Amino acid sequence: MPDETFVLALDQGTTSSRALLFDAQGRLQRVAQRPFAQHFPQPGWVEHDPDEIWSTQLATAREVLEGIDPARVAAIGLTNQRETVVLWERGSGRPLARAIVWQDRRTAAACQSLREAGHEAEVRARTGLTLDPYFSATKVAHWLHERPEWRARAEAGELAVGTVDSWLLWRLTEGRVHATDVTNASRTLWMNLHTGQWDEALLALFGLPAALLPTIHPSCADFGHTTLLGGRIALGGVAGDQQAALYGQGCTQPGQGKNTYGTGCFLLMHTGTTALASQHGLLSTRAAQVDATPQFALEGSVFMGGAVVQWLRDGLGLVQRSDEIEALARSVPDSAGVVLVPAFTGLGAPHWAPEARGALVGLTRGSNRAHIARAALEAIALQCADVLQAMNQDAASAGLALRELRVDGGACANTLLMQMQADLLGVPVCRPRMRERTALGAAALAARQAGLTDGRTAWGEAPGDERLLPQASAASLAPLRQAWAQALRRVM
């Protein structure tokens, strides 16, 4: 690699920080990854140490750039877990508390109170979102309510708040830049979806001082530079992980969609310059935008995707490694009536039931670990099928429908799961050979800002992309769908 130009993608996720180095043609060259601790101080609470997020992310960046002249890195793109929020001191850069993670449910009662007070319709109209603990606003409101002295400091301009992208930008620029992009801002419940700016009425509703907030930019923009990687490197692209994956999958036209199978599952359909108001429990959100022209998407979030397999491994001990699940599930022809509803942290779209809890039903004396493993994979696919059904209903108003599903994320390596998904959706599932689409999307945004590409797509599709076609009939799947619907009613 003597004379090549590179783009560095920083992919800060829920369980690990990663750095991926792409060449100027969008080909992956190097990867580094470091996990970090998950903290569960109370039931339903999930926290991360912001300093550990930063240290692991910096370490991975330095690892992939080892031996490479920083002058050959044209730009850095950043993508991140989204609704997770950090509060820190502007003067010292010291976090005041652990980050409250997107999975955290501690503000469920506060969200319910806001709904009972009649604020749901206005919040949805302004943000495209629903009142749920998933989003950032009530997390910060919780901090400021519990610690009045923090509120006073926030009002005095001494503190800063932001999603993980803002925190990393602050650290990368050594406090020079307090910014975010429209995709991350659209997940906070503070940004007006239509104007792309912080909304004064929403700030008042959640009691948030404006002095806390970062500046909002397009996803492709000048986010400053860092000198912490051996030289001066521009920061040119930022997008929340799911919007970065949408961009990285080349879904930039209305009706194109993808599903990322990570800790959760996140299905997004691009709707162009039109924000569709969901009538079926989905969210309207900003898609990555390369200039001032707004781009929108419909989104359905499944809280427990790959985390279901992690639970089978770590919680139940059914397997030693996650990649053993597929063979175990294939060892039986079906789940023999066993249904798993993985509502361990409530249910997301399209149900939005934060108080729901998981259930394993249909067990008989003949049930075994293989049936449970197969039911777990079915649960992931069934949750996503519920989201797509709602999405197509919403998109029909604009003449859109998802004709194929592009997939990425760690769990998409499970071919049985992907075949289940194609069968339940009734559309082809397209699995790329190079599956790092989230990082690729962030890199493509940075590459555009650096003038390496036109940025319309993330360097195109890689050769060898695989299409899994539906094989099961709707009639043969009817008993499974019926059992799933009955199980859902038991937990909600």
DSSP string, 265-295: EEEEEEEET--PPPSSS-EEEEPP-SSSS--
Q: What pLDDT shows up at residue 26?
A: 87
Token digits for 111?
Answer: 């969200």
Task: Specify the DSSP class assigned to residue 314.
Answer: I
Burial of residue 37 (CB within 10 Å: 0-12, 13-18, 19+) is exposed
What is the average per-residue pLDDT within 232-260? 93
Over 50: is that where the pLDDT of 232 sits?
yes
Over 80: is that where the pLDDT of 149 sits?
yes
Dihedral sign, CA of 104, 110, 116, 119?
Answer: negative
pLDDT bucket at 1, cuts 50 / 70 / 90: very low
pLDDT bucket at 463, cuts 50 / 70 / 90: very low
* Bigger pLDDT: 459 vs 352: 352
Alpha carbons 293 and 456: distance in angstroms, whole number: 13
Residue 193 contacts residue 128 (beta carbons within 8 Å): yes
Q: What pLDDT shows up at residue 454?
A: 65
Over 70: is that where the pLDDT of 458 sits?
no
∠ Cα 463 457 407 (to 5°): 60
pLDDT, one tens digit per residue, over 73-89 is: 999 999 999 999 999 99
- The number of residues in the chain equals 492
Identical fold for domains 6-239 and 252-431+462-492, yes or no, is: yes
Token digits for 134?
Answer: 């998933």
Answer CATH for 6-239 from 3.40.50.280, 3.40.50.261, 3.30.420.40, 3.40.50.12500: 3.30.420.40
Residue 93 contacts residue 171 (beta carbons within 8 Å): yes
Answer CATH for 252-431+462-492 from 3.40.47.10, 1.10.10.10, 3.30.420.40, 3.20.20.80: 3.30.420.40
Q: What pLDDT shows up at residue 242?
A: 92
Over 80: is that where the pLDDT of 354 sits?
no
Q: What pLDDT shows up at residue 83?
A: 93
pLDDT bucket at 254, cuts 50 / 70 / 90: very high
Q: What pLDDT shows up at residue 345?
A: 80
- What's the mean pLDDT when you consider all of the chain? 91
Is the peptide bond prior to 350 cis by the omega test (within 30 degrees of 0)? yes
* Bigger pLDDT: 264 vs 179: 179
Over 70: is that where the pLDDT of 386 sits?
yes
Query: The tokens 């039903």 sit on which residue?
Result: 361
Percent of the chain at pLDDT exceeding 70: 97
Q: What pLDDT shows up at residue 4?
A: 82
Displacement of CA 415 from its chain's centroid (Å): 22
pLDDT bucket at 464, cuts 50 / 70 / 90: low
Over 60: is that where the pLDDT of 404 sits?
yes
pLDDT bucket at 322, cuts 50 / 70 / 90: confident
15-24, 215-224, 342-351: segment of lowest average pLDDT: 342-351
Over 90: is that where the pLDDT of 204 sits?
yes
Over 80: is that where the pLDDT of 402 sits?
yes
Over 90: is that where the pLDDT of 306 sits?
no
pLDDT bucket at 303, cuts 50 / 70 / 90: confident
pLDDT bucket at 353, cuts 50 / 70 / 90: confident
Element (H, E) at 431: strand 429-431
The Cβ-side half-sphere exposure at 349, using a 13 Å CA radius, reads 26
What is the average per-residue pLDDT within 82-109? 94
Over 70: is that where the pLDDT of 3 sits?
no
What is the average per-residue pLDDT within 375-387? 94
The three state secondary structure string of 237-273 is: EEEEHHHHHHHHCCCCCCCCEEEEECCCEEEEEEEEC
What is the average per-residue pLDDT within 29-55? 94
| Domain extents in the chain | 6-239, 252-431+462-492
Q: At what angle do helices 369-395 and 474-491 cross, to 10 degrees?
A: 100
pLDDT, one tens digit per residue, over 435-444 is: 888 999 999 9
Token digits for 40?
Answer: 């569960």
Nearest to 214 by CA among 244, 191, 234: 191
Token digits for 181?
Answer: 């992009």
Q: What pLDDT shows up at residue 281?
A: 86
Summarize the chain as % helix, strand, coil (round to 5): 35, 20, 40
Most confident residue range from 101-105, 223-227, 258-262:
223-227
Token digits for 77?
Answer: 């793109």
* Bigger pLDDT: 435 vs 62: 62
Over 80: is that where the pLDDT of 362 sits?
yes
Over 70: is that where the pLDDT of 462 sits?
no
Over 80: is that where the pLDDT of 456 sits?
no
